[in-house]
Amino acid sequence: METLLDGRLKILQGDITECSTDAVVNAANGSLRGGGGVDGAIHRKGGPDILRECMDIRQHRYPEGLPQGKAVITSAGKLPSKYVIHTVSPVWKDGSKNEKEILSMAYKNSLRIATETGLNSIAFPSISTGVCGFPRDIAASVVYKTIKNYLQKKSLPREVYLVFYSEDDLNVFLSSIKSFL
């Protein structure tokens, strides 16, 4: 595990559904009904309580769907974490559609919910770099800068984990942020 930002940012390979951080982040879609990839894995392992809460949020707060870059919190069902923070992954088009800004907002809004809920630890998957097609090196610089900037201002969450499913994704991330360290 790589540790950066005075020990507050931890970067590792793993399965986010096994993380016992206070919250894990879901790379959801606007429907909040679950889907493929990490979204499917979280709902499958977490069980039906998460989906029920998501549908309640849809009905009462976001009848049109959760917009890209926004985030909401539910319990974590049978997962080892306490909460799931669902954020909507921006879809990469050509880089000129505010993709970077929206990806940054997805991380920032998830972190903000963690702060407001008083959470010590949060784990993120590599949002948008799967089916949403975000180039991994561009995502890496956005993610690192966003987290660094946020943690400089806030004492909670104390620890942020970036959990990469594949070793290759982990290595691309680490080599992409080298010039910022």
| Cβ 152 to ligand ADP shortest distance, Å | 26
Provide the minimum distance between the beta carbon of 19 and ligand ADP in the complex, in angstroms, as a whole number.
8
User: What distance in Å separates the CA atoms of residue 161 and residue 121, rounded to the nearest whole number?
Assistant: 8
Residues 6+ positions from 76 with CB-CB distance below 8 Å: 23, 24, 46, 50, 82, 83, 84
Residue from the set 74, 104, 121, 126 that interacts with ligand ADP by CB under 6 A: 126
Kindly compute the dihedral angle of the four CA atoms of residues 3, 9, 10, 13, in this order, to the nearest 10 degrees: -120
Nearest to 73 by CA among 105, 28, 126, 125: 28
Residue of 106, 43, 105 lying closest to 75 (CA atoms)? 43
87 binds ligand ADP (CB under 6 A): no
Considering only 87, 128, 146, 176, the residue that binds ligand ADP (CB under 6 A) is 128
Quote the tokens at residue 148.
């660094």
Which of residues 74, 87, 121, 129 is near ligand ADP by CB under 6 A? Answer: 129
Q: List the catalytic residue out of 6, 22, 39, 137.
A: 39
Q: Which is nearer to ligand ADP, 151 or 163 (CB)?
A: 163
153 CB-near residues (< 8 Å, 6+ apart): none
How distant is the alpha carbon of residue 160 from its chain centre? Answer: 10
Is residue 131 involved in binding ligand ADP (CB under 6 A)?
yes
Query: Considering the rule CB under 6 A, would residue 127 count as an interface residue with ligand ADP?
Result: yes
Q: Reply yes or no on whether 94 is catalytic.
A: no
For residues 31 to 60, the per-residue mask of contacts with ligand ADP, x marking binding by CB under 6 A and - elsewhere, is ------xxx-x-------------------
Residue 155 beta carbon to ligand ADP: minimum distance, rounded to whole angstroms = 27
Judged by the rule CB under 6 A, the positions of this chain that interact with ligand ADP are 15-17, 27, 37-39, 41, 89, 125-132, 163, 165-166, 169
